[in-house]
Structure 1
Amino acid sequence: MLKLIKVLLVLILIGWIISLNTQPNQKLERVEIESGGELAHVTYVIDGDTIKVELDGEVETVRYIGIDTPEPYREGEPECFSKEATSANTELVQGKIVRLVKDKEDRDRYGRLLRYVYVDEVFVNEVLVRDGFAEVMNIKPNTAHSAEFKKLENIARAGEIGVWGACSKGDNKNSQDKAVRQ
């Protein structure tokens, strides 16, 4: 019994030490990790495809590459399914350490970092398309995952998953119109 208590105390101590090393307010240095990309801490979810992260002690805005979600702040009225897309993104990334992977371009015309986003091994951009929260938005030259995203979008559309089942065609903007805004 005493041995069991000692083991439990050691495990609790190890857990406490690990938690000290992963506090959300710690400054993350820009670190290239083995499978590519940089680690950052998500400090705020703006909408379904845009987040704020702490990277190198600075706050950066990150725009997800290859996808577009309904806009919650567009011309007075939020687009259909924008709240759900923002909530899904929040659930996936808020407060977490993410891996940001660049394609060809570093930033868009608004100065936002353009990145594919991963939480552990979960590919966030892909999940948002697969689950019907986002549609594909190809903007060259950042198209490394375009074919995968398009297949997933077609499945979501056919199954009327997410935005594809919840919103009438008039409520959704097509990808070409959105690409012009990018």
Structure 2
Amino acid sequence: MVERVVDGDTLEVQVDGRTERVRLIGVDTPEVHGQVEPYGPEASAFTKQVLAPGTRIWLEQDVEPRDRYGRLLAYVWLADGRLFNEVLVREGYAQLLTIPPNVKYVERLTAAQREAREAGRGLWALADAASPAQPAPATGAGNEKAGARHATGTPALRYDPNGPDRDCDDFATQAEAQAFFEAAGGPARDPHGLDRDGDGVACESLP
């Protein structure tokens, strides 16, 4: 049962009497925390509308059960039999984010994204919509953003967020630094020290 929605692709649910945070497999919605991205609020509102507190859902897991943050990784099935991960992509609220080995429904999600893009739905209607994300390299269990490119124009990562230490001089723009910062665990974690004042925004001096 749904307890609350954190953002477009993350929610908290009751599982066996305890609260678990769930990250939807195979999808990525624009951010609403820290640096708000275009269409992020709309995606979050849609998920909150469909998955209101008390909504009964069914969770299906894939090969990797959790990501490196301890979140459950799952496909969410609705009472009417629809796969919510697929609904998000088909309606243009999320972009495909494929990270092996959790690829059970990659063909369905790919087809849903193609349909959304061709119809110009949601984030695909944005003027700066980028090409669909390519399958990202597995940098560890979970739905990470490393190697992906947002439909809203977030830069692809040049550096491995789990690799050598980086500082603000390594990035050309604040947006690039922010994408790296979030992929490395920000704002909850900042192993590279890019957010000195702890406000969730990395390398604020960059253009």
Give the TM-score of the pair, scaled to structure 1. 0.71
- 2:62 maps to which residue? 103
Secondary structure of residue in 2 paired with 1:114: strand
Is residue 44 of structure 2 the alignment partner of residue 78 of structure 1? Answer: no
Higher relative contact order (CA 8 A, sep 6+): 1
- 2:172 maps to which residue? none
CA root-mean-square deviation: 2.1
Secondary structure of residue in 1 paired with 2:69: coil
Out of 94, 116, 128, the residue aligned to residue 88 of structure 2 is: 128
Paired with 1:42 and 1:124, the residues of 2 have a C-alpha distance of: 13
- 1:94 maps to which residue? 52
- Residue 169 of structure 1 and its aligned partner are, at CA, apart by 3.0
User: Contact 1:139–1:179 at 8 Å: present in 2 too?
Assistant: no
- 2:76 maps to which residue? 117
- Structure 1 segments of 4+ aligned residues over 2 angstroms from their partners: 172-179
Count of residues in Structure 1 that have an aligned counterpart in Structure 2: 139
- Fraction of identical pairs, as percent: 35
Out of 100, 107, 110, the residue aligned to residue 147 of structure 1 is: 107
What per-residue deviation string (whole Å, max 9, x for no partner) do you get for residues 123-144 of structure 1? 1101000000011100100000
Instruction: Select between 90-99 and 111-120 the one with higher mean Cα deviation.
Output: 90-99
- Residue 179 of structure 1 and its aligned partner are, at CA, apart by 3.0
Structure 1 residues not aligned, in runs of 5+: 1-40
Paired letter, 2:123 = V
What per-residue deviation string (whole Å, max 9, x for no partner) do you get for residues 84-141 of structure 1? 1001111111220110000111100110000000111121101000000011100100
Secondary structure of residue in 2 paired with 1:111: coil
Paired letter, 1:114 = L
User: Contact 2:96–2:132 at 8 Å: present in 1 too?
Assistant: no
Secondary structure of residue in 2 paired with 1:122: coil
Which structure dedicates a bigger proportion of its chain to helix? 1
Is residue 125 of structure 2 the alignment partner of residue 159 of structure 1? Answer: no
Which structure dedicates a bigger proportion of its chain to strand? 1
Secondary structure of residue in 1 paired with 2:93: coil
- Residue 168 of structure 1 and its aligned partner are, at CA, apart by 1.8
